[in-house]
């Protein structure tokens, strides 16, 4: 921030807010009230930050609709977080991506490169790959054979895109993203321990000379439009058909999506989620941090999976899911209630335990007579 400057009228128009102005100010940054100076638009989006305005040097502040302050310019907005997004976009200065091809880039002669592209140092673009117009590939990006990248994309350094992967337009891939690695798919000659446990509930026979064979991944990965994928996230190629990610889906850092998965549109997947192979996730599903999904699970659209859930079965649309093993939220709360009741019962038992023991002793003695 500091490279762009706006009047209060411009920021009010940008956010769709109601401006109450006490003086003309040129704003060159945004910050919380305690960190704001005289050229800052202070962001007081909740009660705590509104209270901090009294300690601020700011002369202008963004507040929720209906908050009235004296002696300071205000911009009132109905949805503060939405206004926050618009403001940060206005002040954001993206990475430098010169619209040129760096001389150290290695581009196969059969590759098709669009107009106005940026290709950084040590980028490798393989045979028959396609790069769309206005796309920027920062240093050390690898694009595999036959991969197709849409227009207006931004790939940060060290992104790896495998063979035949398709990425839509306006996608952002952060540092170290891997698309199209082989799926984790193997088979043994004889039934494995995992197969026995699944079918019989126990491991009865052990093959000490087990041979494990890799199942090749002939499919690829297909990413929709307007998808953002966080740093060091990996999405494996499908075994026969493609692994797919729907348009508008946003994926955080350090997420693992297995082979053959079908992720819907406008999903939100938070850091450290692990989705095993062949899962189907409906549109607009939210998966919170450190959730794990068993293979072949289906989650219906508009569902929410809360943090650290261990999902071992499928759930219908509009489910709120939590726990390990995961259940519907209402069932989880019911179980917690039962646990509380059980604790009360245990305390009562301990209180009258001596009476029960005396009664059992009396019954035993009576039986001997």
Q: Which of 60, 91, 122 is the last residue of a domain?
A: 91
Judge whether 296 counts as a catalytic residue. Answer: no
Query: Which residue range forms the structural domain that includes residue 347?
Result: 330-369
Q: Is the confidence at residue 363, as pLDDT, over 90? A: no
Q: Which of 91, 116, 139 is the last residue of a domain?
A: 91
81 and 138 share one domain: no
In-domain check, residue 97: no
Across residues 67-76, what is the average pLDDT?
94
Which of 175, 259, 296, 354 is flagged as catalytic? 259
114 and 246 share one domain: yes
Q: What span, in angstroms and rounded, lies between the C-alpha atoms of 30 and 40?
A: 5
Q: Which residues contact 286 (CB under 8 A, 6 or more apart)?
A: 267, 268, 270, 303, 304, 305
In-domain check, residue 58: yes
203 and 266 share one domain: yes
Closest Cα to residue 86, out of 67, 62, 57? 62
For residue 208, say if its preceding peptide bond is cis, omega within 30 degrees of 0.
Answer: no
| Residue 41: per-residue pLDDT | 97
322 and 348 share one domain: no
Tell me what percent of the chain is helix, strand and coil, each rounded to the nearest 5.
20, 25, 50
Residue of 246 and 193 predicted with greater confidence: 246
In-domain check, residue 1: no
CA Rg value for the chain = 29
| Residue 202: per-residue pLDDT | 83
Coil, strand or helix at 343: helix
| Residue 344: per-residue pLDDT | 80
Q: Which of 32, 59, 91 is the last residue of a domain?
A: 91
Q: Which residues contact 264 (CB under 8 A, 6 or more apart)?
A: 246, 249, 281, 282, 283, 284, 285, 301
| Residue 351: per-residue pLDDT | 83
pTM metric for this prediction: 0.86
- Residue 368's pLDDT band, with cuts at 50, 70 and 90, is low
pLDDT in tens, 142-157: 999 999 999 999 999 9
Q: What percent of the chain has pLDDT over 90?
A: 80
Count the domains in the chain: 3
Chain position carrying tokens 């939100």: 268
- Residue 191's pLDDT band, with cuts at 50, 70 and 90, is confident
């Amino acid at each position: 921030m500091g490279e762009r400057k706006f009047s209060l009228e411009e920021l009010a128009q940008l956010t769709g807010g109601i401006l109450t102005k006490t003086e003309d100010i040129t704003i060159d940054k945004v910050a919380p009230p305690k960190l704001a100076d005289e050229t800052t638009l202070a962001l007081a989006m909740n009660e705590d930050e509104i209270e901090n305005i009294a300690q601020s040097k700011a002369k202008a502040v963004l507040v929720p609709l209906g908050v009235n302050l004296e002696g300071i310019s205000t911009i009132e907005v109905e949805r503060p977080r939405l206004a926050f997004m618009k403001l940060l976009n206005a002040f954001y200065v993206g990475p430098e991506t010169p619209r040129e091809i760096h001389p150290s880039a290695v581009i196969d002669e059969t590759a098709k490169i669009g107009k106005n592209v940026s290709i950084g140092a040590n980028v490798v673009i393989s045979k028959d790959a396609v790069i769309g117009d206005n796309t920027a590939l920062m240093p050390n990006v690898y694009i595999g054979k036959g991969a197709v990248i849409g227009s207006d994309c931004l790939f940060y350094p060290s992104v790896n895109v495998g063979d035949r992967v398709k990425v839509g337009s306006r996608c952002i891939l952060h540092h170290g993203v891997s698309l199209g690695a082989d799926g984790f798919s193997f088979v043994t000659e004889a039934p494995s321990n995992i197969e026995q446990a699944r079918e019989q509930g126990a491991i009865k026979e052990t093959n000490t000379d087990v041979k494990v064979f890799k199942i090749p991944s002939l499919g690829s990965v297909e990413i929709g439009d307007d998808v953002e994928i966080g740093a060091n996230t990996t999405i494996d190629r499908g075994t026969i058909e493609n692994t797919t990610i729907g348009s508008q889906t946003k994926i955080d850092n350090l997420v693992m999506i297995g082979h053959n998965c079908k992720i819907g549109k406008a999903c939100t997947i938070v850091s450290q989620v692990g989705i095993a192979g062949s899962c189907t996730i409906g549109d607009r599903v939210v998966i919170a941090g450190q959730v794990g999904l068993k293979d072949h699970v289906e989650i219906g659209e508009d569902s929410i999976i809360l943090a650290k859930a261990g999902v071992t079965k499928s759930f219908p649309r509009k489910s709120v899911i939590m726990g390990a093993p995961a259940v519907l939220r209402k069932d989880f709360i019911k179980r917690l209630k039962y646990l509380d009741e059980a604790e009360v019962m245990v305390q009562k038992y301990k209180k009258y335990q001596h009476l029960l023991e005396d009664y059992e002793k009396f019954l035993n003695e009576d039986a001997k007579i």
